[in-house]
A and B are shown apart, each in its own frame.
Chain A
């Protein structure tokens, strides 16, 4: 306290100067309309700038939870859409597929056999052999499951084989990956009498129990050669962009065990 008095005594002129100038400034700003408005503008722009910056930071910090909420919502919508389509069909298909949203935590595209790791595991109901799709199309199949994570064999894998269907004429073929560019795959087992055009769209056949029918796989980019077994091949451009994969949906077939048991008995 004593030091404070000494300080005030020593710098009384400076303190008084500052006080008087502040007083003058307040008077100016309060009484002169032009200065008043100008000051309001300045303070607005400063506070506005600060608010904008903090809100930007906040938005960024909440980006993940926002994304997760959106993905959750998407899953719900997808499910509802599935139900509506199924209603038109038969009662059996009610609630056949459940979509579990997941985040990609690791992804490779340049290996011979590429795998994706997602942040959902057995706790969330993920099981091996479930299909994985994203908003643009098919991604792959679940390979191994731990408690909280699962590895997915992406379509960019030499062991991957997906059953597909031409959307125009319903012919079925298989899509594999030929260790090349991550944008392109190979359509095998196309009946050679089939006239394929560049731009033909392939969707999942729905025969595999892992994927619902009619999920986009890709479009024909280039016609290949016929092989001697009456089947031809074609170059396919994946609709999924594997290099920018962030959020995926794991497809759970609620009747998989039932279907599997049928297959076994047969």
Chain B
């Protein structure tokens, strides 16, 4: 338990720093904005209560927001993502698959499942985020393009990050 908390705090800080110092400064073009800090919400343990998910999602989102000067924007998206996470897990995994597993990680659940699970959540996160940023129904087309281009890139970067940090977690 203690171990998990420390690991989560560490993950929170590392992902925040990486997001702010690296990925917010990378320019992939107008439509591609990778958000890898969502990995924090993706990797929270299965038995995390829903309210904890929401609070944790809000905290990482608002932390990114505070450094980016956009209070509430990322937080809204991560809170939404944390809210739908249990549903996505229900849809993509059988109960027997989850039993005895600690967290939805690549090592425990396999890369294929994780990629699907992560892609769905990242798509939803990006959709909310870009839409809140555009703040208009008229710009829905651009929002969708941004989402569809950004989410796969984010997923790719997240999987790369997971494999970079994998030895640490063992």
Contacts and interface: CB of A to CB of B under 8 A. Distances in A.
Contacts, number: 58
Given A21-B79, A21-B80, A24-B79, A12 B50 contact: yes
Interface string A1-34: 0000000000011001100110111111011101
Contacts of B49: 13
B72 A27 contact: yes
28 contacts: A12-B50, A13-B49, A13-B51, A16-B50, A16-B54, A16-B55, A17-B79, A17-B80, A17-B83, A20-B54, A21-B79, A23-B75, A24-B58, A24-B61, A24-B72, A24-B76, A25-B76, A26-B72, A27-B65, A27-B72, A27-B75, A28-B76, A28-B132, A31-B72, A32-B70, A34-B135, A38-B135, A39-B135
**Count class of interface residues, chain B:** 20 to 34
A28 B73 contact: yes
Interface SS majority for chain B: helix
Interface of B: 49-51, 53-55, 58, 61, 65, 70-73, 75-76, 79-80, 83, 132, 135-136
Q: Which size class do A's interface residues fall under?
A: 10 to 19
Given A13-B83, A35-B135, A38-B136, A27 B54 contact: no
Contacts of A13: 49-51, 53-54, 83
B83 A24 contact: no
B50 A20 contact: no
A186 to B, nearest CB: 66
B71 A28 contact: yes
Contacts of A25: 72, 76
A76 to B, nearest CB: 55
Interface of A: 12-13, 16-17, 20-21, 23-28, 30-32, 34-35, 38-39
Contacts of A38: 135-136
A27 B65 CA distance: 10
Given A38-B135, A38-B136, A28 B72 contact: yes
A21 B135 CA distance: 15
Contact of A12 (B51, B70, B75, B79): B51
Contacts of A30: 71
Nearest to A38: B135
Nearest to A14: B83
B142 to A, nearest CB: 15
A18 to B, nearest CB: 9
B96 to A, nearest CB: 24
B52 to A, nearest CB: 10
